[in-house]
Structure 1
Amino acid sequence: MYRTRRRVLPVVSLLLVSLTVLAGCTNAPPPPLVESTSPTPSSDLPTEPPKPKVVVASVDELRGGFNPHVLADQSPVTDALAELMLPSVFVPGKNGERVLNETLMKSAEVVEDTEKFTVRYRIRTAAGWSDGAPLAAEDFVYLWEQLRSQPGVINPVGYRLISNVESRQGGKTVRVTFDEPYPGWKSLFDHLLPAHLLKDAPGGWADTLDYGYPASGGPFAIRTFDLDRGEVVLMRNERYWGDPARSNRIVLRKAARAENMTALRSGNVQVGMFSADSATMEALRALGEDVQLTTMPLPVTNTLLLRPNSPQLEDVRVRRAVLAALDRQELIDTGTGGGPAANLPAHAQVLAPSQPGYVPTEPSGEATEGPAPKRVEQLLTEAGYQHSGGSWMRNGSPLNLVIAAQFREDSHEAIANSVAEQLNEQDIQTTVVTPKGDELYRTMLTTDPGVQDPPSSAGIDLAVVSRPVNTDPAATMAAQWGCPAVDPDTGRTSRFNMVGFCDQLLQPTIEAATTGEVPFRRASGRVEPVLWSAAVALPLYQEAQVLAVRREVSGVHDGPGFAGPFSSAGEWVGAPGESYDW
């Protein structure tokens, strides 16, 4: 346990002894001056309380929405808060492999000799939330219920294979039964949520985590949360059952890029996370040796979706014409600004460039690197369009495509506008929309293309999105490209993936990869060529951030796999700072 030492100010008193001796009949000198070495009693001295250890971290943005399981809430800040406060059953090991989180769990293993594939989890008795409630089976149940049924969630496939979650031994043992074998089971139950506070909360799953977490199961807990001011103050969680955090407080602070750079240079900020363009990288390098820089690939691939369930894009020839009209490299340059993400171009539909096993799967000629006007003309003509009056017309209507990007996602909006400009140059009309909140992922991109009268908000032809990747690539493939499953509660077909794509001929291969009957690499070798040929998505690049750390802070590193720097925040040792009211 981290201890602070009481500081005592040494006070030295000088005792001057002057003795006057009459010489009389002797010539002996007077005794020398003597310095007293006896300390003054500490009880007579004023004392100061030790200043708390503080780490101030700057971030690019701080906005509402912090559910790590929701597509609309994806952000580095959401990842950071989740790593600090929401415990996971398995965490990335030193080499990126999944290892048991022994702070939370006693064990997690497949149960032998059962009729169905079953996993038993044993939670440590001391594990609990910061409000005093135990971490228990109900937290597993809540996450399972939400991720198998809610729209717009990240990697729900494994949860949809679960048929039952049982609580045993007072909630500290959890027995999970699957309908099918699931070799990717270690990827489940990341970032558990406090079910006792969320399951009946007003706003439910969609809105409850807009302003942080009501309780923490990690080394820090939220003390203040001020979106208007752009600051989140995290204090050491005194109820945390694991090793206590070595710093008392972490402050996340949002400011303009120039202000963050100045604060990092002066030492008012010790850690910075930047979605850096080339100009930002130049400014960061100019800080010199006092600041260490690390590039961190993020677990998302920036992608342009072309939705085959759109009436405008249901013909594959039109989708191919759209791709032929685009300058892909210009889109990458627009999104990355020449920053580190520009070095992570994506040429596969499932794996991200930094993931183990990644190889380009893009066939030559499927996605051109620059606009090809003659190919655009050929494909649109074959699809029944005629060029007239500066527009492509069919049945008296122009080809007018709606392009969506989530509001306040600056790089996505910039790419969407660039796509619009490039299509306009080929006389394809466009409209760019920027839906707010979770509307894009929760409503617009999850509709069932089999519905005869879809909601008006579903009229999206193209979308610029961040597509999450998972440590279980087969589950990622099923979530992104699999046909919709049947809701286990209602028996109805659940919502489609974001693209609205379903290929019944590929579905058995996708399902076999998910259950382990077919290795992922072999399944991918069949699935990816079909996806490229169908022209339903254009991967652009893997997103990345730059971690900047001043030398006076210790314990900060980028984390194994996609864990990120905040996975080790309990080991951060900051400088003494001004105290808040504790």
Structure 2
Amino acid sequence: MRFGRRAAPVLALAGVLLAGCSNTPPPPVVTSTPAPSTSERPAPSQIVAGVDDVVGGYNPHVIADSSTITSALSQLLLPSVFRQADDGTRTLDKTLMTSAEVVSQSPFTVRYEIRPDASWSDGAPIATEDFIYLADRMRNEPGVIEPAGYRLISDIKQRDGGKGVEVSFSKPYPAWQTLFDNLLPQHLLKDAPSGWQGALASSFPSVAGPFAIKTLDTARGEVVLQRNDRYWEKPAAVDTLILRRSDPSGIAAALRSGNDQFSLTHPDSTGLQLLNELGPTVQLHTLPRPLTASVLLRPVSATLSDSQVRAGVAALLDRTKLINAGAKGGPPATLKADAQVLPPSAKGYTPTIPAGSPAAPDPAGADRYFTAAGYKKEAGVWRKGGKTLSLVLASPGTEEPYASIAKELSAELIAGGIQVSTITPQPRELFSSLLAMPVVNGQQQAGPDSTGNVGVDIAVAGLPVGGDPATVLASTFGCAPGQSTTDKTKAAVPANPAGLCDEALQATIDSALTGSATLADSLKTLEPQLWSENAVIPLFQDAEALAVGKGISGLTPGAPMQGPFGTAVNWTRGASSGPETTTSAG
């Protein structure tokens, strides 16, 4: 080897000497351009979506965080046992699970098997503890989305080193496949200083989906997601997915130029017109969301515990004006909610609202109800025992459509002779604190509590309607297990934001939840009674406009009330996959 390395210069030198003895000039030096490398990486592919906002929180299990961005990120980042197809059917998500089946009817028991390779992005395995954590929080925390199914869980056992889960129920639960969506990393959240109330307030501590967060910048209004290299299943087809905030004119301009491939927004009538003016190159779809904008006349209020007063307040409402104030001519305007349980977009929806109030205002009826409750109208204001009829009206911060509805509602009540104090707490404070103030003998404390919080008489809020209808029924209108039989002199947190727990209705609600009676039969009995309670006055189902432009393939409107992000792993840059004709979202 050493000899060979020394021979090369010697031979080269000999060549030079021979050339020097020749009259022939040396050949010219030829420089060649190297051929392009075939191993160069292609430019990263990205898809950009326009949205109204990217501000959190991002916990998909709390009503306070219900938003387009939360729904999108949870579908992109979090694992679920079952997923909904575009037709609404639920199928086992085999990217996470190997099986899930009912193994016993007495007690009702479901056994789950998690894939051995399923793990969080920090390397921790997805395991039984994640199921236990979510079930405990859903059973015990206020302001969560559709907790009734979780409240039936009596025990969760670990199997197979944490990759097996056995869940026992106190009663049969036909809708068990709706449980354990959007599992959370308990190893990072269980002992976090901020607890459940701070969970996913500003970001995701760990993920287990096809995408991961690269940056989440609420000041710039942009979330950049990249392909999750630690995901154990099919990788996302695109490298980067960007969710970018803009106003209606900016959204329309970005779709027209092709800078945005699609948008998912809540436009008013003007914004909707801008989208329609984009022409046939952009397909528009109205996507109902799993929330119904509602007015809650809370029976736990010291004032509204009197059914005559609730009826009087309901009779003052101009429901059409409230709907117009919130919908603003946008997609929700076509989804007027005229039933208590099923939203307008749900299969089997039929209007059940009775004639009279609250379908239409009835000032004369309001006078009769207030008079029957012992009030007298003096100088245009209702009074009783020298005290003015005064109500606290709350809505979640500046969130729309609730802020606009609350403004209109306040004006209507004041015009009807009621003094109104309007408060706008942050959404998490409203649902986890103010609407969860303990009640004694069925009523919340009238004055401020030790932290200065005041009892809320009326709330304008979105109520969840996206899950199993019987579960929606029990979660929105039912008592918590044992609530109707416990000692009412002991403080208890209301079972739902409306604060409604009517023992006369509970048996029928339980029958629907456990499958011993059909939902249709139960609603025939319950709908008239729920309207007569005047506790929940639904207005409209929330909805978004999906605008699909140029340069994206594989995007569909998605499962009912879920939106398009469930299939994002398959999206590619290319021609739009939408229909050839434009569909108006209004």
Shift of 1:575: 7.1
How is 1:253-264 mapped onto 2 (pairs within 5 angstroms)? Answer: 253-264=244-255
Match of 1:461 in 2: 457
Say which SS state the counterpart of residue 498 (structure 2) adopts: coil
Match of 2:559 in 1: 560
Higher mean C-alpha displacement, 360-369 vs 224-233: 360-369
TM-score (norm. length: structure 2) = 0.87
How is 1:71-86 mapped onto 2 (pairs within 5 angstroms)? Answer: 71-86=63-78
2:377 and 2:97 mapped to 1: Cα distance?
Answer: 64
Q: Verify: 1:484 aligned to 2:480, yes or no.
A: yes
2:38 and 2:331 mapped to 1: Cα distance?
Answer: 53
Match of 1:514 in 2: 513
Task: Note if contact 2:382-2:389 (Cα within 8 Å) is conserved in structure 1.
Answer: yes
Say which SS state the counterpart of residue 541 (structure 1) adopts: strand
Cα offsets for 1:185-213 (capped at 9, x unmatched) = 11100001111221122212111301221
Shift of 1:574: 3.1
Match of 2:322 in 1: 331
Task: Note if contact 2:264-2:544 (Cα within 8 Å) is conserved in structure 1.
Answer: yes
Say which SS state the counterpart of residue 170 (structure 1) adopts: helix
Match of 2:502 in 1: 503
Q: Verify: 1:313 aligned to 2:304, yes or no.
A: yes
**How has the CA–CA distance of structure 1 residues 53 and 282 changed in structure 2, closer, same or farther, with 3 Å as cutoff?**
same
**How has the CA–CA distance of structure 1 residues 389 and 89 changed in structure 2, closer, same or farther, with 3 Å as cutoff?**
same
* Alignment partner of 1:444 out of 419, 431, 434: 434
Match of 2:395 in 1: 405
Shift of 1:181: 1.1
Q: Verify: 1:357 aligned to 2:356, yes or no.
A: no
Task: Note if contact 1:270-1:550 (Cα within 8 Å) is conserved in structure 2.
Answer: yes
Shift of 1:432: 1.5
Higher mean C-alpha displacement, 258-267 vs 529-538: 258-267
Q: Supply the RMSD in Å over aligned alpha carbons.
A: 2.1
Match of 1:542 in 2: 541
Q: Verify: 1:58 aligned to 2:50, yes or no.
A: yes
2:56 alignment partner AA: G
Q: Verify: 1:141 aligned to 2:132, yes or no.
A: yes
Match of 1:433 in 2: 423
2:438 and 2:494 mapped to 1: Cα distance?
Answer: 5
Match of 2:379 in 1: 389
Shift of 1:373: 2.3
2:552 alignment partner AA: V
How is 1:138-217 mapped onto 2 (pairs within 5 angstroms)? Answer: 138-217=129-208
Higher mean C-alpha displacement, 186-195 vs 43-52: 43-52
Cα offsets for 1:519-564 (capped at 9, x unmatched) = 1111122222111111111110000000111121111111022221
Higher mean C-alpha displacement, 382-391 vs 535-544: 382-391
2:36 and 2:239 mapped to 1: Cα distance?
Answer: 29
Task: Note if contact 1:449-1:500 (Cα within 8 Å) is conserved in structure 2.
Answer: no
1:479 alignment partner AA: S
Match of 2:526 in 1: 527
Match of 2:294 in 1: 303
How is 1:235-314 mapped onto 2 (pairs within 5 angstroms)? Answer: 235-314=226-305
* Alignment partner of 1:70 out of 62, 67, 89: 62
1:220 alignment partner AA: F
Shift of 1:285: 0.7
Structure 1, unpaired ranges of 5+: 1-39, 577-582
Task: Note if contact 1:53-1:575 (Cα within 8 Å) is conserved in structure 2.
Answer: no
Match of 1:33 in 2: none
Say which SS state the counterpart of residue 453 (structure 2) adopts: helix
Say which SS state the counterpart of residue 439 (structure 1) adopts: helix
**How has the CA–CA distance of structure 1 residues 544 and 145 changed in structure 2, closer, same or farther, with 3 Å as cutoff?**
same
Shift of 1:376: 2.0
2:218 alignment partner AA: L
Q: Verify: 1:90 aligned to 2:82, yes or no.
A: yes
Shift of 1:238: 1.1
1:292 alignment partner AA: Q
Shift of 1:98: 1.6
Say which SS state the counterpart of residue 433 (structure 2) adopts: helix
Task: Note if contact 2:336-2:539 (Cα within 8 Å) is conserved in structure 1.
Answer: yes
Match of 1:341 in 2: 332
**How has the CA–CA distance of structure 1 residues 359 and 42 changed in structure 2, closer, same or farther, with 3 Å as cutoff?**
farther
1:521 and 1:303 mapped to 2: Cα distance?
Answer: 23
Say which SS state the counterpart of residue 436 (structure 2) adopts: coil
Shift of 1:474: 1.3
1:242 and 1:266 mapped to 2: Cα distance?
Answer: 34
**How has the CA–CA distance of structure 1 residues 555 and 386 changed in structure 2, closer, same or farther, with 3 Å as cutoff?**
same
Q: Verify: 1:574 aligned to 2:573, yes or no.
A: yes
Cα offsets for 1:456-485 (capped at 9, x unmatched) = 524211111100014321111111111233
* Alignment partner of 1:372 out of 362, 366, 370: 362
Cα offsets for 1:495-517 (capped at 9, x unmatched) = 33111111111111111211111
TM-score (norm. length: structure 1) = 0.88
Q: Verify: 1:120 aligned to 2:120, yes or no.
A: no
1:97 alignment partner AA: T
1:58 alignment partner AA: G
Task: Note if contact 1:116-1:179 (Cα within 8 Å) is conserved in structure 2.
Answer: yes
Task: Note if contact 2:436-2:493 (Cα within 8 Å) is conserved in structure 1.
Answer: no
Task: Note if contact 2:120-2:126 (Cα within 8 Å) is conserved in structure 1.
Answer: yes
1:115 and 1:46 mapped to 2: Cα distance?
Answer: 64
2:95 and 2:444 mapped to 1: Cα distance?
Answer: 50
Shift of 1:446: 2.1
Task: Note if contact 1:87-1:218 (Cα within 8 Å) is conserved in structure 2.
Answer: yes
Task: Note if contact 2:300-2:444 (Cα within 8 Å) is conserved in structure 1.
Answer: no
Cα offsets for 1:140-189 (capped at 9, x unmatched) = 11111111111111111111111111111121111111111111111100
2:306 alignment partner AA: D
Task: Note if contact 1:366-1:533 (Cα within 8 Å) is conserved in structure 2.
Answer: no
1:574 and 1:325 mapped to 2: Cα distance?
Answer: 53
* Alignment partner of 1:414 out of 376, 391, 404: 404
Cα offsets for 1:382-405 (capped at 9, x unmatched) = 221111122111111111221111
Cα offsets for 1:301-348 (capped at 9, x unmatched) = 111111112122122222122122121111111101111211110011
Percent of residue pairs bearing the same amino acid type: 45
Shift of 1:486: 4.6
Task: Note if contact 2:255-2:550 (Cα within 8 Å) is conserved in structure 1.
Answer: no
**How has the CA–CA distance of structure 1 residues 41 and 123 changed in structure 2, closer, same or farther, with 3 Å as cutoff?**
farther
2:36 and 2:258 mapped to 1: Cα distance?
Answer: 36
Higher mean C-alpha displacement, 224-233 vs 76-85: 224-233
1:424 and 1:494 mapped to 2: Cα distance?
Answer: 30
2:391 and 2:209 mapped to 1: Cα distance?
Answer: 46
1:195 and 1:330 mapped to 2: Cα distance?
Answer: 45
1:307 alignment partner AA: R
Shift of 1:256: 2.5
Shift of 1:372: 2.6
Shift of 1:41: 8.2
1:453 and 1:383 mapped to 2: Cα distance?
Answer: 20
**How has the CA–CA distance of structure 1 residues 414 and 203 changed in structure 2, closer, same or farther, with 3 Å as cutoff?**
same
Task: Note if contact 2:316-2:366 (Cα within 8 Å) is conserved in structure 1.
Answer: yes
1:422 alignment partner AA: E
Task: Note if contact 1:331-1:418 (Cα within 8 Å) is conserved in structure 2.
Answer: yes
2:138 alignment partner AA: L
